[in-house]
Amino acid sequence: MRRLIILRHAKAERASSTGRDFERPLAPRGREDGAKMGAYMARHGLLPERALVSPAERTRETWTLITAALSATPAVEYDERLYDAKAEMILQVIRAAPTQTHTLCVVAHNPGLQQFALLLVGAGDSEARERIAQKLPTCGLLVIDFSIDAWDKVAASQGRLDRFVSPRMLQPEE
């Protein structure tokens, strides 16, 4: 079994001080949502062993907020290929993950991340799949399980959607 946690970065400012998209920081709501999602992951035992994170400022900040809430800090790799990546590139990056990693997290951007999730999910909560098809909001989190023994075997429609949550869906105690 392999478990993939997909996380879109939290809400970012519309612009950076330099004008570069890559350097856009999180907005105040994004920092709040990142902390909220980290607490959710900790409470629900969603602790990845490794994370693959886009090196953009907003994804790095989101990951920092997530790990602040976790009981252990997962190994992290900042991979430039994940910045503004299409679904096919994200799949390539995931397939290269170490075999000994059973729970992997990817933190990246839309629209590629949403397309990637829709590519992978073949079973699970059909209502949640419809919501994902409509929108993967900022700081949206998906958990997809695969009956495989190595990441290089991840294929289209082979994942089972375990859950899809966003900060707005969470109750204050969650």
Which CATH number fits the domain that encloses residue 27?
A: 3.40.50.1240
DSSP state of 171: -
Residue 55, in any domain of the structure: yes
Question: Cα separation of 167 and 32, whole Å?
Answer: 9
- Ordered DSSP codes for 19-76: S-GGGPPBPHHHHHHHHHHHHHHHHTT---SEEEE--SHHHHHHHHHHHHHSSSPPEE
Task: Name the token pair of 93.
Answer: 């990056």
How many domains in the chain? 1
Residues linked to residue 143 through DSSP beta bridges, in sequence order: 5, 163
Tens-place pLDDT, residues 70-98: 999 999 999 999 999 999 999 999 999 99
Residue 24, in any domain of the structure: yes
Residue 161, in any domain of the structure: yes
Tens-place pLDDT, residues 127-160: 999 999 999 999 999 999 999 999 999 999 999 9
First vs last C-alpha separation in the chain = 27
Residue 174, in any domain of the structure: no
Domain extent, residue 146, equals 2-169
